[in-house]
Structure 1
Amino acid sequence: MIASLTLPAPAKLNRMLHIVGRREDGYHSLQTLFQIIDLCDHITFTPRHDGEIHLTSEVSGVDHDDNLIVRAARLLQQYSGSHLGITLDVEKRLPMGGGLGGGSSNAATVLVGLNHIWQLGLSLNALAELGLQLGADVPVFVHGHTAWAEGVGEQLTPVTLDAPWFVIIHPGISVSTPSVFQDPQLTRDSRPITMARALQGGAPEWRNDCEAVVKKRYPPIAEALDWLGQYAPSRLTGTGACLFAAFQTQQAAQAIAHLSAKRWPTWVAHGLNTSPLHDDLGYFTKALGR
Protein backbone atom coordinates (compact mmCIF):
# COMPACT_ATOMS: atom_id res chain seq x y z
CA MET A 1 0.00 0.00 0.00
CA ILE A 2 1.00 3.65 -0.45
CA ALA A 3 2.64 5.45 2.48
CA SER A 4 0.13 8.30 2.37
CA LEU A 5 -2.07 10.20 -0.07
CA THR A 6 -3.60 13.68 0.13
CA LEU A 7 -6.83 14.31 -1.77
CA PRO A 8 -9.08 17.39 -2.15
CA ALA A 9 -12.64 17.71 -0.87
CA PRO A 10 -14.16 20.51 -2.97
CA ALA A 11 -17.03 22.80 -2.05
CA LYS A 12 -20.23 23.31 -4.03
CA LEU A 13 -22.59 26.16 -4.72
CA ASN A 14 -26.31 25.90 -5.33
CA ARG A 15 -26.61 28.09 -8.41
CA MET A 16 -30.39 27.79 -7.90
CA LEU A 17 -32.57 26.05 -5.33
CA HIS A 18 -36.33 25.55 -5.69
CA ILE A 19 -38.55 23.79 -3.16
CA VAL A 20 -41.33 22.09 -5.11
CA GLY A 21 -43.10 20.12 -2.39
CA ARG A 22 -43.00 18.42 0.97
CA ARG A 23 -42.75 14.66 1.22
CA GLU A 24 -44.60 12.34 3.59
CA ASP A 25 -41.35 11.65 5.45
CA GLY A 26 -41.05 15.37 6.28
CA TYR A 27 -38.23 16.08 3.85
CA HIS A 28 -38.66 18.60 1.05
CA SER A 29 -38.57 17.89 -2.67
CA LEU A 30 -35.98 20.08 -4.36
CA GLN A 31 -34.74 21.14 -7.75
CA THR A 32 -31.22 22.51 -7.71
CA LEU A 33 -28.08 23.03 -9.75
CA PHE A 34 -24.96 21.94 -7.89
CA GLN A 35 -21.76 23.51 -9.17
CA ILE A 36 -18.44 22.24 -7.88
CA ILE A 37 -15.83 24.92 -7.16
CA ASP A 38 -12.09 24.84 -6.60
CA LEU A 39 -12.28 25.88 -2.94
CA CYS A 40 -11.29 22.70 -1.09
CA ASP A 41 -10.50 21.02 2.17
CA HIS A 42 -7.71 18.44 1.93
CA ILE A 43 -7.64 15.02 3.56
CA THR A 44 -4.44 13.02 4.05
CA PHE A 45 -4.86 9.24 4.14
CA THR A 46 -2.26 7.07 5.87
CA PRO A 47 -3.07 3.34 5.57
CA ARG A 48 -3.07 1.08 8.61
CA HIS A 49 -2.98 -2.70 8.82
CA ASP A 50 -4.77 -3.00 12.19
CA GLY A 51 -8.29 -2.16 10.96
CA GLU A 52 -8.50 0.98 13.13
CA ILE A 53 -10.06 4.25 11.92
CA HIS A 54 -8.40 7.31 13.39
CA LEU A 55 -9.13 10.99 12.70
CA THR A 56 -6.31 13.19 13.95
CA SER A 57 -8.12 16.51 13.38
CA GLU A 58 -10.69 17.50 15.98
CA VAL A 59 -13.83 19.46 15.15
CA SER A 60 -15.15 21.62 17.98
CA GLY A 61 -18.39 20.23 19.37
CA VAL A 62 -18.25 17.00 17.35
CA ASP A 63 -17.18 13.72 18.96
CA HIS A 64 -14.63 11.64 17.05
CA ASP A 65 -17.05 8.80 16.35
CA ASP A 66 -19.82 11.19 15.24
CA ASN A 67 -17.68 12.97 12.64
CA LEU A 68 -18.94 12.31 9.10
CA ILE A 69 -15.39 11.48 8.05
CA VAL A 70 -15.11 8.67 10.59
CA ARG A 71 -18.65 7.48 9.89
CA ALA A 72 -17.92 7.33 6.16
CA ALA A 73 -14.76 5.27 6.69
CA ARG A 74 -16.48 2.83 9.04
CA LEU A 75 -19.50 2.52 6.76
CA LEU A 76 -17.28 1.60 3.82
CA GLN A 77 -15.20 -0.74 5.95
CA GLN A 78 -18.32 -2.56 7.16
CA TYR A 79 -19.89 -2.69 3.68
CA SER A 80 -16.75 -3.99 1.99
CA GLY A 81 -15.57 -6.30 4.76
CA SER A 82 -12.09 -4.77 4.53
CA HIS A 83 -9.74 -5.55 7.40
CA LEU A 84 -7.56 -2.53 6.61
CA GLY A 85 -7.65 0.70 8.56
CA ILE A 86 -6.77 4.34 7.97
CA THR A 87 -5.48 7.45 9.73
CA LEU A 88 -7.12 10.62 8.43
CA ASP A 89 -5.92 14.18 8.82
CA VAL A 90 -8.03 17.09 7.55
CA GLU A 91 -6.83 20.52 6.51
CA LYS A 92 -9.99 22.65 6.75
CA ARG A 93 -10.69 25.69 4.60
CA LEU A 94 -14.44 25.36 4.19
CA PRO A 95 -16.51 26.95 6.98
CA MET A 96 -18.74 24.72 9.06
CA GLY A 97 -22.44 25.12 8.30
CA GLY A 98 -21.84 27.54 5.45
CA GLY A 99 -23.96 25.81 2.81
CA LEU A 100 -20.84 24.86 0.85
CA GLY A 101 -21.22 21.15 1.54
CA GLY A 102 -17.94 20.80 3.43
CA GLY A 103 -18.95 17.91 5.68
CA SER A 104 -20.62 16.03 2.83
CA SER A 105 -17.64 16.59 0.57
CA ASN A 106 -15.28 15.33 3.27
CA ALA A 107 -17.36 12.17 3.60
CA ALA A 108 -17.39 11.68 -0.18
CA THR A 109 -13.62 12.11 -0.44
CA VAL A 110 -13.20 9.47 2.25
CA LEU A 111 -15.46 7.03 0.40
CA VAL A 112 -13.83 7.62 -2.99
CA GLY A 113 -10.31 7.80 -1.55
CA LEU A 114 -10.59 4.63 0.51
CA ASN A 115 -12.13 2.76 -2.40
CA HIS A 116 -8.90 3.60 -4.23
CA ILE A 117 -6.47 3.02 -1.36
CA TRP A 118 -8.06 -0.21 -0.12
CA GLN A 119 -8.46 -1.37 -3.75
CA LEU A 120 -12.11 -2.26 -3.26
CA GLY A 121 -13.16 -1.79 -6.89
CA LEU A 122 -16.60 -0.40 -6.03
CA SER A 123 -18.43 1.71 -8.61
CA LEU A 124 -19.24 5.36 -8.02
CA ASN A 125 -22.93 4.38 -8.03
CA ALA A 126 -22.34 1.95 -5.16
CA LEU A 127 -20.34 4.57 -3.24
CA ALA A 128 -23.06 7.18 -3.83
CA GLU A 129 -25.72 4.83 -2.43
CA LEU A 130 -23.60 4.40 0.68
CA GLY A 131 -23.01 8.14 0.85
CA LEU A 132 -26.74 8.86 0.81
CA GLN A 133 -26.94 7.18 4.22
CA LEU A 134 -24.66 9.95 5.49
CA GLY A 135 -26.37 12.94 3.87
CA ALA A 136 -28.33 14.06 0.82
CA ASP A 137 -25.42 16.12 -0.57
CA VAL A 138 -22.85 13.30 -0.40
CA PRO A 139 -23.78 11.63 -3.74
CA VAL A 140 -23.02 14.69 -5.88
CA PHE A 141 -19.50 14.81 -4.45
CA VAL A 142 -19.08 11.06 -4.91
CA HIS A 143 -20.03 11.32 -8.58
CA GLY A 144 -17.81 14.36 -8.89
CA HIS A 145 -19.64 16.30 -11.56
CA THR A 146 -21.66 19.49 -11.59
CA ALA A 147 -25.27 18.32 -11.73
CA TRP A 148 -28.98 19.01 -11.94
CA ALA A 149 -30.54 17.44 -8.84
CA GLU A 150 -34.05 16.53 -7.77
CA GLY A 151 -35.63 14.55 -4.91
CA VAL A 152 -33.83 15.56 -1.73
CA GLY A 153 -30.83 16.33 -3.92
CA GLU A 154 -29.80 12.74 -4.63
CA GLN A 155 -31.37 12.27 -8.09
CA LEU A 156 -28.51 13.56 -10.21
CA THR A 157 -28.05 14.33 -13.88
CA PRO A 158 -24.57 15.53 -14.88
CA VAL A 159 -24.62 18.90 -16.65
CA THR A 160 -22.10 21.42 -17.91
CA LEU A 161 -22.45 24.96 -16.60
CA ASP A 162 -20.53 28.13 -17.29
CA ALA A 163 -17.43 28.46 -15.13
CA PRO A 164 -17.29 32.00 -13.73
CA TRP A 165 -15.24 33.27 -10.84
CA PHE A 166 -17.23 33.53 -7.61
CA VAL A 167 -16.92 35.85 -4.66
CA ILE A 168 -18.11 33.91 -1.62
CA ILE A 169 -18.88 35.66 1.67
CA HIS A 170 -19.47 34.13 5.08
CA PRO A 171 -21.27 36.70 7.30
CA GLY A 172 -19.81 35.11 10.42
CA ILE A 173 -22.98 33.54 11.77
CA SER A 174 -24.46 30.06 11.79
CA VAL A 175 -27.78 29.11 10.18
CA SER A 176 -29.99 26.36 11.56
CA THR A 177 -31.05 24.37 8.49
CA PRO A 178 -33.91 22.57 10.32
CA SER A 179 -35.35 25.89 11.50
CA VAL A 180 -35.32 27.25 7.95
CA PHE A 181 -37.12 24.22 6.55
CA GLN A 182 -39.63 24.29 9.42
CA ASP A 183 -40.42 27.99 9.01
CA PRO A 184 -44.12 28.38 8.10
CA GLN A 185 -43.27 31.19 5.68
CA LEU A 186 -40.88 29.05 3.62
CA THR A 187 -41.91 28.69 -0.02
CA ARG A 188 -42.72 25.00 -0.50
CA ASP A 189 -44.77 25.08 -3.68
CA SER A 190 -42.55 26.43 -6.41
CA ARG A 191 -43.72 25.23 -9.77
CA PRO A 192 -41.39 22.48 -11.04
CA ILE A 193 -39.37 23.39 -14.11
CA THR A 194 -37.56 21.21 -16.61
CA MET A 195 -33.82 20.79 -16.50
CA ALA A 196 -33.60 22.34 -19.97
CA ARG A 197 -35.34 25.49 -18.78
CA ALA A 198 -33.21 25.67 -15.66
CA LEU A 199 -30.05 25.45 -17.75
CA GLN A 200 -31.07 28.56 -19.65
CA GLY A 201 -30.14 30.35 -16.43
CA GLY A 202 -30.89 33.77 -15.03
CA ALA A 203 -33.95 35.20 -13.29
CA PRO A 204 -36.53 34.14 -12.49
CA GLU A 205 -35.44 30.50 -12.76
CA TRP A 206 -32.16 30.93 -10.86
CA ARG A 207 -33.19 31.84 -7.34
CA ASN A 208 -33.01 30.26 -3.89
CA ASP A 209 -36.39 29.65 -2.24
CA CYS A 210 -34.75 29.62 1.21
CA GLU A 211 -33.38 33.12 0.81
CA ALA A 212 -36.42 35.16 1.92
CA VAL A 213 -36.76 33.22 5.18
CA VAL A 214 -33.02 33.29 5.87
CA LYS A 215 -32.81 37.05 5.24
CA LYS A 216 -35.70 37.66 7.65
CA ARG A 217 -34.30 35.39 10.39
CA TYR A 218 -30.67 36.46 9.99
CA PRO A 219 -30.24 40.20 9.30
CA PRO A 220 -26.42 39.96 8.91
CA ILE A 221 -26.97 37.67 5.92
CA ALA A 222 -29.48 40.11 4.43
CA GLU A 223 -26.93 42.90 4.89
CA ALA A 224 -24.19 40.93 3.13
CA LEU A 225 -26.51 39.91 0.28
CA ASP A 226 -27.53 43.51 -0.27
CA TRP A 227 -23.92 44.68 -0.17
CA LEU A 228 -22.69 42.09 -2.68
CA GLY A 229 -25.75 42.68 -4.83
CA GLN A 230 -24.44 46.18 -5.60
CA TYR A 231 -21.79 44.57 -7.81
CA ALA A 232 -23.50 41.49 -9.28
CA PRO A 233 -26.64 39.42 -8.61
CA SER A 234 -26.06 37.78 -5.23
CA ARG A 235 -27.59 34.58 -3.94
CA LEU A 236 -27.57 32.27 -0.93
CA THR A 237 -26.09 28.80 -1.33
CA GLY A 238 -28.17 26.07 0.33
CA THR A 239 -29.62 27.49 3.51
CA GLY A 240 -26.47 29.58 4.02
CA ALA A 241 -24.81 31.16 5.79
CA CYS A 242 -22.55 31.64 2.75
CA LEU A 243 -23.63 33.74 -0.21
CA PHE A 244 -22.06 34.36 -3.57
CA ALA A 245 -21.98 36.32 -6.80
CA ALA A 246 -20.50 35.37 -10.17
CA PHE A 247 -17.96 37.41 -12.15
CA GLN A 248 -16.55 36.79 -15.60
CA THR A 249 -12.91 37.29 -14.69
CA GLN A 250 -10.69 36.46 -11.76
CA GLN A 251 -9.50 40.06 -11.65
CA ALA A 252 -13.06 41.39 -11.26
CA ALA A 253 -13.83 38.86 -8.52
CA GLN A 254 -10.64 39.65 -6.64
CA ALA A 255 -11.38 43.36 -6.72
CA ILE A 256 -14.76 42.87 -5.04
CA ALA A 257 -13.34 40.28 -2.65
CA HIS A 258 -10.73 42.82 -1.55
CA LEU A 259 -13.53 45.17 -0.52
CA SER A 260 -15.62 42.42 1.07
CA ALA A 261 -12.72 41.09 3.13
CA LYS A 262 -12.68 44.34 5.08
CA ARG A 263 -16.02 43.26 6.60
CA TRP A 264 -16.42 39.48 6.27
CA PRO A 265 -14.45 36.29 5.65
CA THR A 266 -14.31 36.11 1.86
CA TRP A 267 -13.03 33.69 -0.78
CA VAL A 268 -12.58 33.79 -4.54
CA ALA A 269 -13.28 30.46 -6.23
CA HIS A 270 -13.44 29.22 -9.80
CA GLY A 271 -16.47 27.29 -11.04
CA LEU A 272 -15.76 23.74 -12.20
CA ASN A 273 -17.68 21.00 -13.95
CA THR A 274 -15.57 18.09 -12.70
CA SER A 275 -14.27 17.50 -9.21
CA PRO A 276 -10.54 17.95 -8.55
CA LEU A 277 -10.79 14.76 -6.48
CA HIS A 278 -11.83 12.75 -9.52
CA ASP A 279 -9.35 14.56 -11.72
CA ASP A 280 -6.56 13.57 -9.30
CA LEU A 281 -7.65 9.92 -9.35
CA GLY A 282 -8.20 9.87 -13.12
CA TYR A 283 -11.88 8.97 -13.08
CA PHE A 284 -12.92 11.10 -16.00
CA THR A 285 -9.83 10.22 -17.99
CA LYS A 286 -10.73 6.54 -17.57
CA ALA A 287 -14.34 7.21 -18.51
CA LEU A 288 -13.17 8.83 -21.75
CA GLY A 289 -10.92 5.88 -22.48
CA ARG A 290 -7.73 7.91 -22.48
Structure 2
Amino acid sequence: MPATPRTLTLPAPAKLNRMLHIVGRRQDGYHELQTLFQIIDLCDSLSFTLRQDGVIQLTTPMDGVAHDDNLMVRAAKLLQQHSGTPLGASITIDKHLPMGGGLGGGSSNAATVLVGLNQLWQLGYSPTTLAALGLTLGADVPVFVRGHSAWAEGVGEQLTQATLDTPWFVVIHPGVSVSTPAIFQDPELTRDSLPITMARALQGGVVEWRNDCEAIVRKRYPPIAEALDWLAQYAPSRLTGTGACLFAAFDSQKSAQIVAERANQRWQAWVARGLNTSPLQDALGC
Protein backbone atom coordinates (compact mmCIF):
# COMPACT_ATOMS: atom_id res chain seq x y z
CA MET A 1 0.00 0.00 0.00
CA PRO A 2 1.38 3.43 -0.90
CA ALA A 3 1.97 5.82 1.97
CA THR A 4 -0.70 8.41 2.59
CA PRO A 5 0.49 11.75 1.10
CA ARG A 6 1.55 14.28 3.66
CA THR A 7 -0.44 17.48 3.58
CA LEU A 8 -0.13 20.91 5.14
CA THR A 9 -2.49 23.91 5.16
CA LEU A 10 -1.14 27.36 6.05
CA PRO A 11 -2.33 30.99 5.95
CA ALA A 12 -0.85 33.71 3.75
CA PRO A 13 -1.67 37.02 5.47
CA ALA A 14 -1.94 40.51 4.04
CA LYS A 15 0.05 43.57 5.09
CA LEU A 16 -0.53 47.28 5.28
CA ASN A 17 2.04 50.00 4.75
CA ARG A 18 1.29 52.17 7.77
CA MET A 19 3.58 54.76 6.19
CA LEU A 20 5.64 54.87 2.97
CA HIS A 21 8.32 57.46 2.30
CA ILE A 22 10.40 57.58 -0.89
CA VAL A 23 13.83 58.91 -0.02
CA GLY A 24 15.70 58.47 -3.29
CA ARG A 25 16.11 56.71 -6.60
CA ARG A 26 18.96 54.34 -7.38
CA GLN A 27 20.90 54.17 -10.62
CA ASP A 28 19.18 50.88 -11.48
CA GLY A 29 15.82 52.69 -11.40
CA TYR A 30 14.59 51.18 -8.15
CA HIS A 31 13.46 53.52 -5.41
CA GLU A 32 14.86 53.78 -1.90
CA LEU A 33 11.99 53.45 0.57
CA GLN A 34 11.25 53.71 4.23
CA THR A 35 8.10 51.95 5.33
CA LEU A 36 6.36 50.28 8.24
CA PHE A 37 4.87 46.91 7.34
CA GLN A 38 2.06 45.73 9.58
CA ILE A 39 0.71 42.21 9.23
CA ILE A 40 -3.10 41.95 9.36
CA ASP A 41 -5.40 38.98 9.85
CA LEU A 42 -6.86 38.96 6.33
CA CYS A 43 -5.46 35.79 4.77
CA ASP A 44 -5.42 33.52 1.77
CA SER A 45 -5.15 29.82 2.62
CA LEU A 46 -2.68 27.49 0.89
CA SER A 47 -2.75 23.69 1.04
CA PHE A 48 0.22 21.52 0.09
CA THR A 49 0.28 17.82 -0.74
CA LEU A 50 3.62 16.04 -0.95
CA ARG A 51 4.47 14.44 -4.29
CA GLN A 52 7.17 11.85 -4.87
CA ASP A 53 7.43 12.53 -8.62
CA GLY A 54 9.08 15.95 -8.36
CA VAL A 55 6.18 17.72 -10.10
CA ILE A 56 5.11 21.19 -8.94
CA GLN A 57 1.42 21.65 -9.70
CA LEU A 58 -0.85 24.56 -8.83
CA THR A 59 -4.26 22.92 -8.82
CA THR A 60 -6.24 26.18 -8.69
CA PRO A 61 -5.43 28.21 -11.83
CA MET A 62 -5.61 31.99 -11.58
CA ASP A 63 -7.23 34.04 -14.31
CA GLY A 64 -4.76 35.78 -16.60
CA VAL A 65 -1.66 34.12 -15.11
CA ALA A 66 0.04 31.19 -16.84
CA HIS A 67 0.81 28.25 -14.54
CA ASP A 68 4.60 28.55 -14.70
CA ASP A 69 4.48 32.34 -14.36
CA ASN A 70 2.53 32.20 -11.12
CA LEU A 71 4.64 33.43 -8.20
CA MET A 72 3.64 30.42 -6.09
CA VAL A 73 4.91 28.01 -8.75
CA ARG A 74 8.07 30.05 -9.21
CA ALA A 75 8.68 30.03 -5.46
CA ALA A 76 8.23 26.26 -5.27
CA LYS A 77 10.56 25.62 -8.20
CA LEU A 78 13.15 28.02 -6.82
CA LEU A 79 13.22 26.17 -3.50
CA GLN A 80 13.24 22.82 -5.28
CA GLN A 81 16.20 23.82 -7.47
CA HIS A 82 18.12 25.44 -4.62
CA SER A 83 17.75 22.41 -2.36
CA GLY A 84 18.11 19.71 -5.01
CA THR A 85 15.20 17.78 -3.51
CA PRO A 86 13.59 15.13 -5.70
CA LEU A 87 10.22 15.86 -4.07
CA GLY A 88 7.37 17.86 -5.54
CA ALA A 89 4.06 19.25 -4.35
CA SER A 90 0.51 19.97 -5.38
CA ILE A 91 -0.57 23.43 -4.22
CA THR A 92 -4.14 24.63 -3.78
CA ILE A 93 -5.10 28.19 -2.85
CA ASP A 94 -8.29 29.50 -1.33
CA LYS A 95 -8.00 33.11 -2.50
CA HIS A 96 -9.49 35.95 -0.45
CA LEU A 97 -7.05 38.83 -0.96
CA PRO A 98 -7.52 41.00 -4.06
CA MET A 99 -4.79 40.76 -6.67
CA GLY A 100 -2.78 43.93 -7.19
CA GLY A 101 -4.43 45.67 -4.25
CA GLY A 102 -1.33 46.78 -2.36
CA LEU A 103 -1.92 44.18 0.37
CA GLY A 104 1.03 42.03 -0.66
CA GLY A 105 -1.09 39.00 -1.48
CA GLY A 106 1.14 37.61 -4.23
CA SER A 107 4.29 38.09 -2.16
CA SER A 108 2.63 36.54 0.87
CA ASN A 109 1.53 33.54 -1.20
CA ALA A 110 5.12 33.05 -2.38
CA ALA A 111 6.42 33.35 1.19
CA THR A 112 3.96 30.76 2.46
CA VAL A 113 5.06 28.41 -0.33
CA LEU A 114 8.71 28.80 0.72
CA VAL A 115 7.96 28.34 4.42
CA GLY A 116 5.45 25.55 3.87
CA LEU A 117 7.54 23.50 1.47
CA ASN A 118 10.62 23.98 3.65
CA GLN A 119 8.64 22.10 6.31
CA LEU A 120 6.89 19.60 4.03
CA TRP A 121 10.16 18.68 2.31
CA GLN A 122 12.02 18.74 5.66
CA LEU A 123 14.79 20.95 4.28
CA GLY A 124 15.62 22.71 7.53
CA TYR A 125 16.41 26.07 5.96
CA SER A 126 16.54 29.08 8.28
CA PRO A 127 14.26 32.12 7.85
CA THR A 128 17.33 34.07 6.73
CA THR A 129 17.97 31.63 3.88
CA LEU A 130 14.31 31.56 2.87
CA ALA A 131 14.09 35.37 3.00
CA ALA A 132 17.15 35.66 0.73
CA LEU A 133 15.53 33.29 -1.77
CA GLY A 134 12.26 35.21 -1.47
CA LEU A 135 13.95 38.51 -2.26
CA THR A 136 14.77 37.20 -5.75
CA LEU A 137 11.01 36.83 -6.30
CA GLY A 138 9.95 40.22 -4.94
CA ALA A 139 10.94 42.91 -2.44
CA ASP A 140 7.93 42.22 -0.16
CA VAL A 141 8.48 38.46 0.13
CA PRO A 142 11.07 38.60 2.98
CA VAL A 143 8.76 40.40 5.43
CA PHE A 144 6.19 37.62 5.04
CA VAL A 145 8.86 34.91 5.40
CA ARG A 146 10.09 36.46 8.64
CA GLY A 147 6.52 36.95 9.78
CA HIS A 148 6.71 40.07 11.91
CA SER A 149 5.64 43.66 11.51
CA ALA A 150 8.77 45.54 10.53
CA TRP A 151 10.52 48.78 9.67
CA ALA A 152 11.89 48.41 6.14
CA GLU A 153 14.44 50.31 4.11
CA GLY A 154 16.25 49.87 0.80
CA VAL A 155 13.70 48.59 -1.72
CA GLY A 156 11.84 47.19 1.27
CA GLU A 157 14.13 44.25 1.95
CA GLN A 158 16.21 45.67 4.84
CA LEU A 159 14.01 44.65 7.75
CA THR A 160 14.07 45.48 11.44
CA GLN A 161 11.38 43.87 13.55
CA ALA A 162 9.00 46.49 14.97
CA THR A 163 6.21 46.47 17.51
CA LEU A 164 3.28 48.55 16.30
CA ASP A 165 -0.08 49.35 17.81
CA THR A 166 -2.73 46.83 16.79
CA PRO A 167 -5.96 48.64 16.01
CA TRP A 168 -8.88 47.37 14.00
CA PHE A 169 -8.73 48.45 10.37
CA VAL A 170 -11.31 49.06 7.71
CA VAL A 171 -9.73 48.09 4.38
CA ILE A 172 -11.44 49.16 1.15
CA HIS A 173 -10.81 48.07 -2.43
CA PRO A 174 -12.32 50.71 -4.76
CA GLY A 175 -12.61 48.29 -7.68
CA VAL A 176 -9.82 49.65 -9.86
CA SER A 177 -6.38 48.28 -10.71
CA VAL A 178 -3.29 50.42 -10.16
CA SER A 179 -0.15 50.13 -12.30
CA THR A 180 2.70 50.16 -9.79
CA PRO A 181 5.37 50.81 -12.48
CA ALA A 182 3.36 53.78 -13.78
CA ILE A 183 3.20 55.30 -10.30
CA PHE A 184 6.92 54.91 -9.68
CA GLN A 185 7.75 56.28 -13.13
CA ASP A 186 5.55 59.35 -12.78
CA PRO A 187 7.77 62.47 -12.99
CA GLU A 188 5.71 64.19 -10.29
CA LEU A 189 6.28 61.46 -7.70
CA THR A 190 7.97 62.67 -4.52
CA ARG A 191 11.41 61.04 -4.39
CA ASP A 192 13.23 63.26 -1.91
CA SER A 193 11.58 62.75 1.44
CA LEU A 194 14.13 63.25 4.20
CA PRO A 195 15.27 59.92 5.66
CA ILE A 196 14.22 59.31 9.26
CA THR A 197 15.15 56.71 11.83
CA MET A 198 12.89 53.87 12.88
CA ALA A 199 12.70 55.41 16.35
CA ARG A 200 11.59 58.72 14.88
CA ALA A 201 8.96 57.00 12.74
CA LEU A 202 7.54 55.13 15.72
CA GLN A 203 7.65 58.23 17.91
CA GLY A 204 5.87 60.37 15.31
CA GLY A 205 3.22 57.73 14.83
CA VAL A 206 -0.07 58.27 13.08
CA VAL A 207 0.19 62.05 13.21
CA GLU A 208 3.18 62.13 10.85
CA TRP A 209 2.72 58.95 8.84
CA ARG A 210 1.97 59.40 5.16
CA ASN A 211 2.29 57.60 1.83
CA ASP A 212 4.34 59.47 -0.77
CA CYS A 213 2.57 57.59 -3.59
CA GLU A 214 -0.86 58.81 -2.55
CA ALA A 215 -0.88 62.18 -4.33
CA ILE A 216 -0.06 60.59 -7.70
CA VAL A 217 -2.54 57.75 -7.19
CA ARG A 218 -5.26 60.24 -6.27
CA LYS A 219 -4.58 62.20 -9.46
CA ARG A 220 -4.50 59.16 -11.76
CA TYR A 221 -7.35 57.20 -10.16
CA PRO A 222 -10.35 59.35 -9.13
CA PRO A 223 -12.25 56.33 -7.67
CA ILE A 224 -9.42 55.86 -5.15
CA ALA A 225 -9.47 59.55 -4.27
CA GLU A 226 -13.22 59.31 -3.76
CA ALA A 227 -12.87 56.30 -1.43
CA LEU A 228 -10.05 57.93 0.53
CA ASP A 229 -12.15 61.03 1.06
CA TRP A 230 -15.19 58.99 2.05
CA LEU A 231 -13.26 56.95 4.62
CA ALA A 232 -11.61 60.10 6.00
CA GLN A 233 -15.03 61.14 7.33
CA TYR A 234 -14.59 58.47 10.00
CA ALA A 235 -10.83 58.28 10.62
CA PRO A 236 -7.58 59.37 8.91
CA SER A 237 -7.37 57.32 5.71
CA ARG A 238 -4.28 56.23 3.83
CA LEU A 239 -3.23 54.25 0.77
CA THR A 240 -1.32 51.01 1.27
CA GLY A 241 1.60 50.55 -1.13
CA THR A 242 0.58 51.98 -4.48
CA GLY A 243 -3.00 50.81 -3.90
CA ALA A 244 -5.63 50.24 -4.95
CA CYS A 245 -6.54 49.34 -1.35
CA LEU A 246 -6.79 51.98 1.35
CA PHE A 247 -7.40 51.80 5.08
CA ALA A 248 -8.16 53.57 8.32
CA ALA A 249 -7.60 52.52 11.93
CA PHE A 250 -10.31 52.25 14.58
CA ASP A 251 -10.21 51.68 18.33
CA SER A 252 -12.74 48.85 18.38
CA GLN A 253 -13.99 46.04 16.20
CA LYS A 254 -17.52 47.33 16.56
CA SER A 255 -16.74 50.82 15.25
CA ALA A 256 -14.76 49.32 12.36
CA GLN A 257 -17.63 46.98 11.48
CA ILE A 258 -20.12 49.86 11.36
CA VAL A 259 -17.95 51.76 8.87
CA ALA A 260 -17.18 48.64 6.83
CA GLU A 261 -20.88 47.86 6.47
CA ARG A 262 -21.45 51.34 5.09
CA ALA A 263 -18.45 51.02 2.78
CA ASN A 264 -19.73 47.69 1.45
CA GLN A 265 -22.73 49.48 -0.02
CA ARG A 266 -20.31 51.00 -2.56
CA TRP A 267 -17.10 48.98 -2.55
CA GLN A 268 -15.56 45.77 -1.32
CA ALA A 269 -14.52 46.29 2.29
CA TRP A 270 -13.16 44.21 5.17
CA VAL A 271 -12.52 44.54 8.88
CA ALA A 272 -9.03 43.38 9.85
CA ARG A 273 -7.03 43.29 13.06
CA GLY A 274 -3.50 44.65 13.11
CA LEU A 275 -0.91 42.07 14.21
CA ASN A 276 2.76 42.05 15.08
CA THR A 277 3.25 38.31 14.51
CA SER A 278 2.06 36.59 11.36
CA PRO A 279 -0.66 33.90 11.46
CA LEU A 280 1.79 31.84 9.37
CA GLN A 281 4.30 31.76 12.24
CA ASP A 282 1.50 31.04 14.71
CA ALA A 283 0.31 28.11 12.60
CA LEU A 284 3.80 26.62 12.59
CA GLY A 285 4.37 27.29 16.29
CA CYS A 286 7.36 29.55 15.58
Task: Tell me the TM-score normalised to structure 2 length.
Answer: 0.98
| Contact 2:5-2:51 within 8 A present in 1 as well | no
Q: What percent identity do the matched residue pairs reach?
A: 75
Across the aligned residues of Structure 1 and Structure 2, the Cα RMSD in angstroms comes to 0.9
* Structure 1 runs not aligned, ≥5 long: 284-290
Which residue, out of 47, 52, 57, partners 2:50?
47
Counterpart of 2:252?
Answer: 249
Q: Deviation per CA, 1:140-185: give whole Å up to 9, x if none.
A: 0000000000000000000110000000000000000000000000
Instruction: Please report how far the alpha carbon of residue 203 of structure 1 lies from its aligned counterpart in structure 2 after TM superposition.
Output: 5.2
Which residue, out of 91, 107, 112, partners 1:109?
112
1:59 and 1:106 map into 2 onto residues whose CA distance is 13
| Contact 1:2-1:117 within 8 A present in 2 as well | no
* Structure 2 runs not aligned, ≥5 long: none
What does residue range 43-192 of structure 1 map to in structure 2 within 5 Å? 43-192=46-195
Counterpart of 1:288?
Answer: none
| Contact 1:29-1:152 within 8 A present in 2 as well | yes
Counterpart of 1:33?
Answer: 36
2:278 and 2:189 map into 1 onto residues whose CA distance is 32
Task: Tell me the TM-score normalised to structure 1 length.
Answer: 0.96
| Contact 1:69-1:107 within 8 A present in 2 as well | yes
Question: 2:108 corresponds to which letter in structure 1?
Answer: S
Q: Secondary structure at the match of 1:122?
A: coil
Counterpart of 1:287?
Answer: none
Instruction: Please report how far the alpha carbon of residue 123 of structure 1 lies from its aligned counterpart in structure 2 after TM superposition.
Output: 0.3
Question: Aligned pair count?
Answer: 283
Q: Secondary structure at the match of 1:202?
A: helix
Regions of 4+ moved over 2 Å: 201-205
| Contact 2:6-2:120 within 8 A present in 1 as well | no
Question: 2:261 corresponds to which letter in structure 1?
Answer: H
What does residue range 273-288 of structure 1 map to in structure 2 within 5 Å? 273-283=276-286
1:201 and 1:106 map into 2 onto residues whose CA distance is 32
1:282 and 1:191 map into 2 onto residues whose CA distance is 39
Instruction: Please report how far the alpha carbon of residue 201 of structure 1 lies from its aligned counterpart in structure 2 after TM superposition.
Output: 3.8
Instruction: Please report how far the alpha carbon of residue 2 of structure 1 lies from its aligned counterpart in structure 2 after TM superposition.
Output: 5.7
Instruction: Please report how far the alpha carbon of residue 5 of structure 1 lies from its aligned counterpart in structure 2 after TM superposition.
Output: 1.3
